[in-house]
Structure 1
Amino acid sequence: MVVMTAIDSQTDTAAPAEPEAPATVPARVLPDALPLMPEDPPRVGDFWLRGRLGANAAGYLYAATDETGRDAVVAMMTEGSADDAAARDRFVTVVDGLPVAAVLAHNDGDDDDLALWVALGPIRPNDGSSAVADERLIAERRGEEVLSAVLMDRVPQLGRVRGPDFRHYWENRRRPGLFRLWPLPWPAALRPASWFALVLSLLTMLVIMALAIFIAWLLFKNSPEVDPGPVIPDPSGTVTVTVTPTTPPPGSGSPSPSPGGSPSPTPTGTTTGPIPTTGPSGSISPGDPGDRF
């Protein structure tokens, strides 16, 4: 009884509690996308990819933005699933079942050499409100449903589990599927900082080239002229010499007659043979093949 009385007295003397202020719900923070890998396409269709949002054996989810600044979530098949005709049919079937307003763009299913992709949205510009985060999450969930339908990992189990686990033959080929870039991503994807770095690198390259040309000019402007090269003899090792006939001077006698009684003719024509060389004493020595040069 004493305890109850004390509690009652404290209750009577306590001041009335102030009404609590309504708690403000903070806006949901959008999760940051992972950076793109070198094998990721920079652009699919009209959408520039900014980062990865998720991935599985069937494909990838990317955060993307088009030329007008509209945000979207792009689901794209891997190279393994893109080469499977049944997986492509499942991708197209799920995309066709989505609401028309949720599918912003997609490529043609008849492009057998390209991976299928779809851009999901709409996502309003990020103004810090929770509505933007909700639209982004809805687009991500739809992209996950598309890839899960390709992978068939959400198909309910029928009957008892027996034997080994089911696995697609293409699950190890997890690189992004083939894509086509046209128009080329450069230079539309460059930011102002990238433009500055590009122009600075080009100017630096031009300065280095001009400096190299100037140094080469300084080194070779006073160089002597190159002497003509040596005369290369004929492959047969012989030289043709033309002998011109001359008339003997008067009083030098007549030419000796030939055995037949007629004077011998003056030699006319050409003679083939090595060129004789002159030795140190002025006498003519037999030609040496090594002296022809």
Structure 2
Amino acid sequence: MTATESTTEVQPAEQPVEAPVSLIPAALPLQPEDPPRVGEFWLRGRLGANAAGYLYTASDERGRNAVVALMTEGSADDASARDRFVIAVDGLPDDVVLAHNDEDDDDLALWAAFGPIRDDDGSSAAADERLLAERRGEDVLSAVLMDRVPQHGRRRGPDFRHYWEGRRRPGLFRIWPLPWPTALRPPSWAAIWFALATMLLISALALFLAWQLFKDSPPLDPPPVVPTPSGTVTVTVTPTTPPPNTESPTPGTTPNPTGTLPSPTETGPTNPGDKF
């Protein structure tokens, strides 16, 4: 009797599938009306916007990343909306509000920077910090817009709408020191140096062509008068003497070679009317 051995194939254990790391969503590029800088933060892109303000991703010179909330020109001109913005920012913990401008700046739009946010290293912690700062900015702008106020009673009548909701451009801002050239990136520096080199080349070419055109030109005759160091110029005038026994005739008379005065009949009519 023979025994048959059964062989079983051992399959390797399946590796656990790692969950994909949540990436920080990319911001939209800045528009021409967006400020390049507010306070000490350089704006990098748009994260969102509503009638109350804008959310930007930003960073400062020290490398701190933040989310900046900036009021629109319509909400910034409303005193009540400004008060709601200040109250909402003051209600947040001090360690999450990195910077903000003075509420007494009546001619400027209010803004606040929220963080801290670590650099985007592909980890979920960096994405969570970014989303949390963005959520804080949304809460502040929602407090200005009052779109999350709970409804009391039954809804009747038309919807409430702020009178300034149509003015959605970014509010007024002041930039000092000026953003150029601190905010320039390497491609911008390359473009500037290329433009300067081109202007210098064109200027040198223009000077060379002018020298080629005028190097063989004859000197001026008479030469130009060069003043003395005292500021005076000496000009020699050669007088011209009339020939002897000649007198310059008066207008309306013919010269008389004999030197005698002409008779009245030779000088023509004496009546002015007869000349025409």
TM-score by length of 2: 0.73
Please list the CA deviations of residues 89-119 of structure 1 after superposition, one character each: whole Å capped at 9, or x if unmatched: 0000000000111100000000001100000
* Structure 2 residue identity aligned to 1:160: R
* Aligned residue among 98, 122, 133 for 2:116: 122
Question: What displacement does 1:167 show?
Answer: 0.8
Gaps of 5+ in 2: 1-7, 223-244, 256-266, 269-276
* Aligned residue among 35, 42, 45 for 1:51: 45
Matched, 1:183 2:154: no
Matched, 1:131 2:128: no
Structure 1 residues 47, 219: CA separation in 2 closer, same or farther (over 3 Å shift)? same
Query: 2 CA distance for matches of 1:103 and 1:149?
Result: 16
Cα RMSD after superposing both structures: 3.0
Q: SS of 2:75's equivalent?
A: helix
Question: What displacement does 1:19 show?
Answer: 6.1
8 Å contact from structure 2 (residues 30, 46) kept in 1: yes
Query: 1 CA distance for matches of 2:194 and 2:127?
Result: 39
* Structure 2 residue identity aligned to 1:203: A
| Structure 1 residues 1-293: aligned runs within 5 Å | 21-220=15-214, 222=217
When you count strand as a share of all residues, which structure comes out higher?
1
Residue of structure 1 in register with 2:230 after alignment? none
Q: SS of 2:189's equivalent?
A: helix
Question: What displacement does 1:191 show?
Answer: 1.8
Question: What displacement does 1:70 show?
Answer: 1.3
8 Å contact from structure 2 (residues 24, 120) kept in 1: no
- Length, aligned pairs only: 224
Structure 1 residues 219, 144: CA separation in 2 closer, same or farther (over 3 Å shift)? same
Question: What displacement does 1:49 show?
Answer: 0.5
Question: What displacement does 1:36 show?
Answer: 0.2
TM-score by length of 1: 0.69
Query: 2 CA distance for matches of 1:157 and 1:17?
Result: 61
Query: 1 CA distance for matches of 2:29 and 2:94?
Result: 30
Gaps of 5+ in 1: 1-13, 228-247, 249-270, 279-284, 287-293
Query: 2 CA distance for matches of 1:212 and 1:172?
Result: 54
* Structure 2 residue identity aligned to 1:174: R
Query: 1 CA distance for matches of 2:23 and 2:14?
Result: 26
Q: Using CA pairs under 8 Å that are at least 6 residues apart, name the structure with larger relative contact order, 1 or 2.
A: 2
Please list the CA deviations of residues 216-239 of structure 1 after superposition, one character each: whole Å capped at 9, or x if unmatched: 444455388699xxxxxxxxxxxx
Query: 2 CA distance for matches of 1:168 and 1:224?
Result: 79
Structure 1 residues 163, 210: CA separation in 2 closer, same or farther (over 3 Å shift)? same
Please list the CA deviations of residues 9-50 of structure 1 after superposition, one character each: whole Å capped at 9, or x if unmatched: xxxxx9999865433122101111000000100011111100
User: Percent identity, aligned pairs only?
Assistant: 71
* Structure 2 residue identity aligned to 1:127: D
